[in-house]
A and B are shown apart, each in its own frame.
Chain A
Amino acid sequence: MSLTLIVVLVVVLALFFDFTNGFHDTANAMATPIATGALKPRPAVALAAALNLVGAFLSTAVAQTISGGLIRGEGDHVSITPPLVLAGLVGAITWNLLTWLWGVPSSSSHALFGGLIGATIVGTWDAGSIDYHVLLGKIVIPALLSPVVAGLVAYSSTKLAYFATRRRDGRADGRSGFRYGQIFSSSLVALSHGTNDAQKTMGVITLLLISAGLQPAGEAGPQWWVILACALAIATGTYTGGWRIIRTLGKGLTEVKPAQGFAAETSTAATILASSHLGFALSTTQVASGSVIGSGLGRSDGHVKWGTAGRIALGWLLTLPVAAIVGGATASIARLGTAGLIIDLVIAVVVIVIVFRINARRRVTSAHMTPHAEAEVADATVALEFTRPGDEAAAVASPAGSAGAADREARP
């Protein structure tokens, strides 16, 4: 297979990954405003898509971390080759689609890094081809710390929001006014998501162009058409919307009230923007989940469903290794040469088709946010549960069941 054809194929696959990244992560910005009723689902995802598009043009610090540091090169030579990038992307896409199907807000970035790392190690038969200092310092440790940072910030902001609006005489406190604020704070999250996540695919495509010798290794910045294509792909993905994950984040973790949603969104945006500025490629998803949990703890009558939180954390732990294994396996097939590459592509297409077919059978759309909505009241003191109308057992999900039970609840 000619190099140009491979490069074109990998770019297409990378853009598809960017698309899955978009719909996987719509929830980060829009789960909480949809949950509190600050925004309707359709306008919410449209807003998120537009701001992702804008955000993608704003900064390229993260893209340069990826194309410039993670995979070790000697002078102008880089050890990663286009087939390996392809293998890494297959790993990343596979894991992203599976977690979306399960409704787990896992990190698209870790899926991407995992896939690339696995592919590079297998492809070069050299565990030294990865710069572990960059891996640990720029990816693994920030991944462990970022949800904690976001959680702490969200906890304190939630306390602050409630403290500042508390009325001791028991009269209406006007906290529903946070709904207007939420429109802006969630927009800011979407914008910051664009500055962070769209960068990752730009970084990968740039890495590919460097490895194919189409761009000098000295220039780590992405080219303009790469920025444009990635921005469009992530915006389209965002607009498509991953309702399964929106449900998990919007009601699976804790019941979200407007003041709390505003605090969580502002904390998410502040954390992402601050770290994006410093070139930490942290996971937007983990930050958003951390914020939602932190804000749930910050509200005095808030409850966090730790079962769901644990399930999400498990998803996070698995993301990097599983994507690495898939990426490694794909890379070992790619070693067969042209035939191997074709097999890889066929596998990728089959996985994509299967996941979308399962999704179509157990559809979750904006109209499936919760069955039996009228039974649920905003002022309920317990976190909301799923109920299935007409079912012999009305209450399906245990407090912990939201993430895992997503598929079951979806069916009419």
Chain B
Amino acid sequence: MIDWFSFLEVLVAAWLGASVVVGLYALGLRLLAVSGNVPFVPPVEFDEAITVLTPKQVRKETKRARKASERNPYSPGVKLLARIGAYVLFGLAALVVLYGIYLIVPYFHS
């Protein structure tokens, strides 16, 4: 009827893949914050967008992010390490995605 083993394989593979990519990216953001670079990425503006921030809110959030970046207890060395770590993690997330694509393209395996 159904190959339950394959199904389980799909579940585990999907869960692992998603967790690794999301985990790496999220930890990267975390390290970026530790390094004193809390990102604030405002939503893009377009007609009738779903997520809308007023210019005032954007200013407020930018200020909040800047404050969080400034009030940072870590030493310059730790900050530098965290920053490098963040980019390494982003890079790793990208590599995992590329590896996933590599796995599913039969051309690379024939």
Q: Which A residues are within 8 Å of any B CB, using their own CB?
A: 34-41, 58-61, 133, 136-137, 141-142, 145, 149-150, 152-154, 156-157, 160-161, 163-165, 167, 171-181, 184-185, 188, 191, 195, 250-251, 256, 258-259, 262-263, 266-267, 269-271, 273-278, 280, 366-371, 373-374, 376-379, 384
A136 near B29 with CB under 8 A, answer no
Those of B1-46 within 8 Å (CB) of chain A:
1-3, 6-7, 9-11, 13-15, 17-19, 21-23, 25-27, 29-30, 32-33, 38-46
Nearest Cβ on chain A to B56's Cβ, whole angstroms = 11
B1 near A141 with CB under 8 A, answer yes
A270 to B38, CA, bound (A): 28
B105 near A262 with CB under 8 A, answer no
**Contacting A277 at CB < 8 Å: which of B45, B97, B103?**
B103
A176 near B39 with CB under 8 A, answer yes
**Contacting A250 at CB < 8 Å: which of B42, B50, B53, B71?**
B50
A41 near B15 with CB under 8 A, answer no
* B side interface size, CB within 8 A: 57
> Could you tell me the dominant secondary structure of chain B's interface residues?
helix
Asked if A37 meets B43 with Cβ closer than 8 Å, knowing A137-B3, A165-B26, A373-B48, the reply is yes
Nearest Cβ on chain A to B50's Cβ, whole angstroms = 5
A270 near B21 with CB under 8 A, answer yes
Nearest Cβ on chain A to B87's Cβ, whole angstroms = 13
Nearest Cβ on chain A to B54's Cβ, whole angstroms = 7
A140 to B33, CA, bound (A): 46
B50 near A271 with CB under 8 A, answer no
The 7 lowest CB-CB distance pairs between A and B, nearest first, are A37-B43, A164-B26, A177-B39, A171-B68, A270-B17, A274-B13, A172-B68
Q: For residue A251, which residue of chain B has the nearest CB?
A: B50
B104 near A273 with CB under 8 A, answer yes
A58 to B104, CA, bound (A): 8
B50 near A34 with CB under 8 A, answer yes
- Set of chain B residues within 8 Å of A370, measured between Cβ atoms: 48-50
- Set of chain A residues within 8 Å of B91, measured between Cβ atoms: none
Nearest Cβ on chain B to A345's Cβ, whole angstroms = 37
- Set of chain B residues within 8 Å of A161, measured between Cβ atoms: 22, 25-26
Asked if A37 meets B32 with Cβ closer than 8 Å, knowing A176-B42, A263-B22, the reply is no
Among B26, B53, B97, residue most surrounded by chain A Cβ atoms (within 10 Å)? B26
A164 near B27 with CB under 8 A, answer yes
Nearest Cβ on chain A to B71's Cβ, whole angstroms = 7
Residue interface bits B62-106, CB-to-A below 8 A is 1, else 0 = 001101100100000000000000000000001001001101111
B19 near A157 with CB under 8 A, answer yes
- Set of chain A residues within 8 Å of B51, measured between Cβ atoms: 35-37, 376, 378
B50 near A149 with CB under 8 A, answer no
A273 near B17 with CB under 8 A, answer yes
B53 near A175 with CB under 8 A, answer no
A181 to B21, CA, bound (A): 10
A156 near B19 with CB under 8 A, answer yes
- Set of chain B residues within 8 Å of A184, measured between Cβ atoms: 94, 97
Nearest Cβ on chain A to B94's Cβ, whole angstroms = 8
- Set of chain B residues within 8 Å of A177, measured between Cβ atoms: 29, 32, 39-41
B44 near A40 with CB under 8 A, answer yes
Q: For residue B46, which residue of chain A has the nearest CB?
A: A40
**Contacting A174 at CB < 8 Å: which of B10, B21, B32, B94?**
B32
B1 near A172 with CB under 8 A, answer no
A34 to B103, CA, bound (A): 29
**Contacting A278 at CB < 8 Å: which of B10, B48, B53, B105?**
B10
Q: For residue B90, which residue of chain A has the nearest CB?
A: A181
B23 near A369 with CB under 8 A, answer no
**Contacting B61 at CB < 8 Å: which of A34, A172, A369?**
A172
- Set of chain B residues within 8 Å of A188, measured between Cβ atoms: 97
Among A149, A167, A181, A270, residue most surrounded by chain B Cβ atoms (within 10 Å)? A270
B38 near A181 with CB under 8 A, answer no
- Set of chain A residues within 8 Å of B52, measured between Cβ atoms: 37, 373-374, 376-378
Known: A172-B40, A176-B61. 20 other contacts (CB 8 A): A35-B50, A37-B50, A39-B44, A133-B1, A137-B2, A150-B14, A153-B18, A154-B18, A160-B23, A161-B25, A174-B29, A177-B39, A180-B39, A251-B50, A267-B22, A270-B18, A271-B14, A274-B13, A377-B53, A377-B54
B54 near A58 with CB under 8 A, answer no
